[in-house]
Structures are given as C-alpha cells and as structure tokens.
Amino acid sequence: MKQVIQNFKTGDLYIDEVPVPAITDRMVLVENKFSLISSGTERGTVKVAKANLIGKAKQRPDLVAQVLQNMKKEGIKATLDKVRTKLDSLKALGYSTSGVIKASLDSNSIFKPGDRVACAGQDYASHSEFVGVPQNLVAKIPDNVSFEEASYTTLGAIALQGVRQAEPRLGDKVCVIGLGLLGQITVQLLKANGCRVFGVDLSPKLVEISKGSGADEALLRGDENLLTATDNFTNGHGFDSVIITAATSSNDPIELSAIISRKKGKVIVVGAVKMDIPRDPDFYRKELELKMSCSYGPGRYDVNYEENGNDYPLAYVRYTEQRNMEAFLDLVSQGVIRLNDLTTHVFDISEAEKAYEIVMGTNPEPHIGILLSYPDSSEGKDSTSVPLSRNKPLGALNVGFIGAGSFAQSYLIPHVKSWGEASLDTVVTTKGISAKNVASKFLFNNASTSSADVLNNDGINTVFIATPHNSHAKYVVECLEAGKNVFVEKPLAMNTEELIKVKSAYETNQGLLMVGFNRRFSPLASRIKAEFENNGEPKVINIRINAGFIPKEHWTQNPELGGGRVIGEMCHFIDLFQFFVDAKPVKVYAECIKTNNTQITPEDNISVVVSFGDGSIGNLLYLGNGDKSMPKELVEVFSGGKIGRIFDFRNGSIHKNNKEIKLKESGKGHRQEVMAFLASLKDNGKEPIPFESIYNTTLVTFKILDSLVTGLPQTIN
C-alpha cells in the first residue's frame, strides 16, 4: 500500500510502498477513502524532522535531558547507539481519516466489514491506503455524511473539546483567536451553541472566511481598532470566554486573551502557543480562569482507553474521545456544521508531496482544508509483505524477525548482521512503515506485517522473537512446531499454562530454544564465575537493582500485555543466580512494600530470597523507589573466602588474599548471547542456556508472585 512517510533523520518526505498494517484484539482495519492534513500540527512535525541535530535538540529539550540521564546510566556508546536508532526512523504523518472497515477485532462487535467510519490517532489514522486503528478511536459515519466531510472528524473533536472546556451558555460572547482550520470549526460549533462569536487572526483571508463560518465579527490582530471593536462587541464587559486555537511561539494570544476577557472570564488554550502568563493586571485582578483543552477529549494519552479499548462509563464521563467524534459527525449530519466550504485542495495520495509543499510554504497557495484521496482499487495494495531483495540467502542460517522495536534494532539485529554467516530474510512488525524501515536499514529481503510470512517460509530456519511479552509463548510454540530454531526475548511465558505449552513444544520438536538472558554472557559475569569455579562451597549472591519508577500505565505494567516487572524484568537476575551457582532453585520467598499510594506498584519494590539445591542463597533487592543518580545494578558473589563484584556491568572487582583486583571489562552481554546462539546453531552444539534452567527461571518468577499472595515460601518443583 502507499503511505506518506518522513525520514526523521534527513527530513525527506515521500510516498512509498509498505505492507498493510496488522491488527490485534480491539482494533479494526480500515481502507482509507480520504485523510485530512492538519496544517498546523503537521507543519510543526515536518519542521522538526527537517531540522539538523542541533535544531532538533533546541525544539525538544526534554529529550536532550533524557539522553544526558541515559549517558550516566548506560554510558556514552550505548546511549549514542540508542539515539542513532531513534533518529534513523521513518515517521507516519496524519491523524484524521475516513474509510471502510475491511476487518474488525473489536471487543464489542460494533464494527463490521463494510461499515463507513471516521478514524483518529497519531500513528494510527495515518495518510496511507490502509490503517489499523484501536476500537475507541473509530466512529461510524451517518449515511448522509460524505467521506470527505468525515475525514475532518478528529479536528472536529478537538474543536468540540475546546468548546466544552469553555462551557458556553446561550447568548455568551466568545472570542476565537486563530482562525485556521481548527478556529473555523470552533466558530461554527459556538454558533450552533447559540453564542455570539468574534474572530481574530493575522490573515485577512482567514478573517474573511470566518464570517462565512458564522463569526458575527472578525478583525485582523494588527487592526488598530481591535480593542475598541471588542469593547463595543461586549458592551464594555469583555468576553465571557476566549478560545485560543492559534499555533505560534508568540505569547501574544495569551496576553490579548487576558485584556479582552471579562472579570471572572475563561481563557481556553487549544492550540500550541507560548504560555508566559502575565499575572498583573488582567489574570490576577479579573480572577480569570485558565483552562487547557486536551486534544479530542477524555481518554487521550490514556493507554487503557486508547490502546486497550476500555471505555469510560457514559454516566460518569459523558464525552470521551470517541463520543466527541460521534457528536461531531452528528452535527455534520444535521447540517449544523458545514465543512465542504473549508476544503481548498484535494490531492491523490500519489501527489501528497505537492500538498506538503503548500503546507510548508515551499509552493505557497492560500489554503485551509487539504485532503488526500485514495483510489478505490489498486492491484496488490492490500499485501502484508513488500520484497526488497537486498540480501542473498547464505543457506546455512536464514533468519526471520518477528518484532523489531528499538531494543531489537539496538541489541539483536546488528549483532546477527555483524556475525556475517546469517542471512536476514524477513522482518515482521505490526505497522508496515516500521517493517519497511527496519528492512531497509538492515538489508532484510522482505518487510512484512504478518507472522505467517516467517512461520510458513520453509527457507527460514531461525526466528528471533522481540514482540510484546504476552505474545512470546505463542510465537515460540508456533516456531518450534514449524521446525525452526528460536531466540525469544525475555520473558519466555506469562503464566504456568503458557510455560507448559512451551515445554511440550520444545520436547516434541527438534528446534533449539534460547531466551535473552544476556547478563550471564557479560564479560564480567564470566570472569567472576571462573574465579569461583570448583571451590565446592555454597555461594551467597546479593543483587541490588535500582530500577527506577515506571508508571502503572506503562505497557510493561499491564498484567495482560507486559506481565509486570517480576515476570518481565526480574527473570534476568533469577537466571544470573543460576549461572553463578550451577544448581536448581528449590525454594523462593518474597516480600514487597505496603503502601496506600496508588501511583506506586508495590511489587516493583521487593526483596526476594531464592534457595538452591547446593545450599547457595540468592538475595534480590529490586527497587523502583530510588533515585537515578545512583548506579542501577550491583552484583556481589561471596564464597570460599573471595568476593566478586559487578558495578552496572561497566566495571567490577575481585577481592581475595586481602587484595582487590579491579576488572575493567564492560557490556551487559547482548552481543555475546547472540553470538553464542548463532555459533551453537552453526556447530550443532549444545544450547547456550540449558532448557531446564530457562524453565526454572520462568517458574521462579511465577512462584515469587505466589509468595507475595500467600505470604509463604514456595517450593520449586
């Protein structure tokens, strides 16, 4: 399918062929008919991408701060690798489309193939022939509303949410500052609400158009009679509310809104404007109320609502994102909102670059609403795979990747490629643009959005799985049953039932199975293990992890998706215990903090004791309530009159004979684990980590949770 793409590193904007997106539960697949270019928002996005590295840094100082913090934690090289991966990416543009449902996995059985719908969401409702959209960001189109009109729905919902924040009453006098597309729709919504509307903008053309949209009066910002006109319009009282829909780095809209508001009036910020709030005289003396309007309504930025498809009860949250979309479409259906007059340009998707030349001002034309249209039929446009034919199979090891996020691009794919004796055949991600980007960057033969293109490909004998945690076990079983070797990122499974299925598939098939427990392959871990080899004594191992806080809405904390940090992260350190002691875990006991703070996940602050069959003990202290200025990982091994220590896997020490031996080797073992896995395949050698150890590590994480629930030690059978 065709999609508008921008290379975030170079700023180049173009149309390319990418695979059709895959959908998961609570999503729908839509064939687009029209999409709306949001000039203000997309102009800013494209501008950031076109800026050089310094320019990008100036416009996103928040990300610069993250990079500096990451350097302290992981070092310069690892951080720069991450930054390069992020920069060298392709970005989807657009967030407001209309089309026809081709497939639906929505949980409420509301949407059916053939339904006409409007779609919303950055990275979902993109400028492409097909889009995969979560169910709560989709609304059915009334029969008398055209696809062209429906493509405005997301902008309409944003405008509607701004009006709702103003809470206008019949007869209220409202000023709209900024009369672009968002402002024009806001004017119409206010008129539908029985308000008297005054518009302000820098453009004479937009001022004139706003009168056609229903503004009772509108003037240029630079008009010397503006303040006199607003005084006369409000009978000297000032506006009941001012809605700012402008997009500018200037503080003028905020300052103007305060001047023209009545005492105890409201200022609603919808557009991206500078917000240096002048306290005196107006905001303070008039006791003005300043309110932000968050995009298209309640649910925005809530993963549980947008991505997981969980709705808010209508009785308690009357207008959500989706219900704002539905309300706007209903207003269009009634003829209250008129959109056709706002459409100034329509381009076929193949000519999208011309549209952006207008938006960016390289080929300026007067414009408001610019639509992209999509052909009704195009041979092969619904394909889930796009061949690139960049790399010739080597025959011995032909590799497929299912999942290729930033972790896989930083720590897995480059090491497979650098090994030099494996062919990168097919990469699969849910979004076609991501698959195409990874395939092009690392020279895969094919980019795909369907795992079947890997599972059913007899030429692929080795699969790396780097998908969200809840799909790991499923893909492991399918790959093993298809006769393929498997490297899966941790965790292996999310529950005992999945673990049993993996065990059965492993025992009945011939494929080699590896889990990404990388720390045991680090140079420091290997060096310290060698120091304690064959001493015949039990070991005491202390591991302290200053993991840092992760909010509950993060996907890793979702029990259904990420499984939480016990299953998803602590497995690393249970495996490291086993690596050092070379014995089976036999018992585990865990305690976590107790707190009434609902923002904190108690299990993220936990003390775990694991007993092993040889008498060794592993103490794990995993903490999410610390400070990032302190190093993240500390490992200590005590046995036979010696101590081995690892500091953040960047350096370490061995203490023996009353002397300290400093170790300067660094790295967490990502490269070494991939090399060990590939080498074992090439030489038909034994698995780098015995399956029994992998199984026991996974089982221990489940028993940790059982111990927290029961308050009792758990036996590992």
pLDDT digits (tens, 9 = 90+) for 92-150: 999 999 999 999 999 999 999 999 999 999 999 999 999 999 999 999 999 999 999 99
Fold classification of 519-715 is: Dihydrodipicolinate Reductase; domain 2 (3.30.360)
Say how far residue 656 (Cα) sits from the centre of its chain: 48
Return the pLDDT at 64: 61
Where in the chain are the domains? 2-151+302-373, 157-292, 385-516, 519-715
Is the pLDDT assigned to residue 391 strictly greater than 70? no
Structure-model confidence comparison of residues 392 and 247, the more confident one: 247
Q: Tell me the β-bridge partners of 399.
A: 424, 462
Return the pLDDT at 547: 94
Inter-residue contact 531 to 654 (CB < 8 Å) = yes
49-52-58 Cα angle (round to 5): 85
User: Same fold for the domain at 2-151+302-373 and the one at 519-715?
Assistant: no
Contacts of 446 (CB under 8 A, 6+ apart): 385, 386, 387, 388, 425, 426, 427, 439, 453
Read off the pLDDT of each residue in 141-167 and give the average, rounded to a whole number: 97
Structure-model confidence comparison of residues 395 and 538, the more confident one: 538
Return the pLDDT at 55: 58
Is the pLDDT assigned to residue 60 strictly greater than 60? no
Structure-model confidence comparison of residues 420 and 468, the more confident one: 468
Q: How far apart are CA 307 and CA 449, in angstroms?
A: 18
pLDDT digits (tens, 9 = 90+) for 441-456: 999 999 999 999 999 9
> What type of residue is 281?
P
Is the pLDDT assigned to residue 181 strictly greater than 80? yes
Inter-residue contact 29 to 104 (CB < 8 Å) = yes
> What type of residue is 423?
S
Is the pLDDT assigned to residue 73 strictly greater than 90? no
Query: Tokens in use for 654?
Result: 């061995």
187: three-class secondary structure by DSSP:
helix
Q: β-strand 385-387 against 90-92: which pairing, if any?
A: unpaired
Listed range (6-10, 86-90, 269-273, 496-500) with the worst mean pLDDT: 86-90
**pLDDT category of residue 536 using cuts at 50, 70 and 90:** confident
Say how far residue 135 (Cα) sits from the centre of its chain: 17
Return the pLDDT at 67: 61
Is the pLDDT assigned to residue 553 strictly greater than 90? no
Return the pLDDT at 395: 66
Contacts of 334 (CB under 8 A, 6+ apart): none
Inter-residue contact 663 to 653 (CB < 8 Å) = yes
- Cβ burial, residue 9 (10 Å; 0-12/13-18/19+): middle
Is the pLDDT assigned to residue 58 strictly greater than 60? no
Q: Over pLDDT 90: what percentage of the chain?
A: 81
pTM of the model: 0.86
Across the chain, mean pLDDT equals 92
- Which residue is associated with the tokens 């193949």? 350
Return the pLDDT at 409: 95
Read off the pLDDT of each residue in 586-596 and give the average, rounded to a whole number: 96
Read off the pLDDT of each residue in 339-356 and give the average, rounded to a whole number: 94
Is the pLDDT assigned to residue 62 strictly greater than 60? no
Query: Which CATH number does 2-151+302-373 carry?
Result: 3.90.180.10
Read off the pLDDT of each residue in 420-434 and give the average, rounded to a whole number: 93
Q: β-strand 398-402 against 423-428: which pairing, if any?
A: parallel
Is the pLDDT assigned to residue 57 strictly greater than 70? no
**pLDDT category of residue 527 using cuts at 50, 70 and 90:** very high
336: three-class secondary structure by DSSP:
coil
Return the pLDDT at 616: 97
**pLDDT category of residue 558 using cuts at 50, 70 and 90:** confident
Is the pLDDT assigned to residue 61 strictly greater than 80? no
Return the pLDDT at 78: 61
Q: Is the preceding omega at residue 491 within 30 degrees of 0, hence cis?
A: yes
> CA Rg, the chain, in Å?
29
Read off the pLDDT of each residue in 583-599 and give the average, rounded to a whole number: 95
Q: How far apart are CA 90 and CA 17, in angstroms?
A: 13
Is the pLDDT assigned to residue 10 strictly greater than 90? no
Is the pLDDT assigned to residue 524 strictly greater than 90? yes
Q: Tell me the β-bridge partners of 587.
A: 611, 715
Q: How far apart are the first and last CA of the chain?
A: 51
Is the pLDDT assigned to residue 396 strictly greater than 70? yes
Structure-model confidence comparison of residues 90 and 116, the more confident one: 116
CA-closest candidate to residue 682, choices 390, 391, 399, 389: 399
Is the pLDDT assigned to residue 83 strictly greater than 90? no
Is the pLDDT assigned to residue 2 strictly greater than 80? yes
Return the pLDDT at 629: 87
128: three-class secondary structure by DSSP:
strand
Q: How far apart are CA 202 and CA 180, in angstroms?
A: 10
Listed range (208-222, 388-402, 482-496, 622-636) with the worst mean pLDDT: 388-402
Q: Tell me the β-bridge partners of 289.
A: 266
Is the pLDDT assigned to residue 393 strictly greater than 60? no
Pick the CATH number of 385-516 from 3.40.50.720, 3.30.70.20, 3.30.420.480, 3.20.20.140: 3.40.50.720
Fold classification of 157-292 is: Rossmann fold (3.40.50)
Structure-model confidence comparison of residues 204 and 52, the more confident one: 204
Is the pLDDT assigned to residue 46 strictly greater than 80? no
pLDDT digits (tens, 9 = 90+) for 637-650: 999 999 999 999 99
Return the pLDDT at 597: 93
Spell out where 270-366 has E strands. Answer: 289-292, 343-348
Q: How far apart are CA 420 and CA 407, in angstroms?
A: 20
Return the pLDDT at 387: 83
> What type of residue is 705?
L
Return the pLDDT at 26: 95
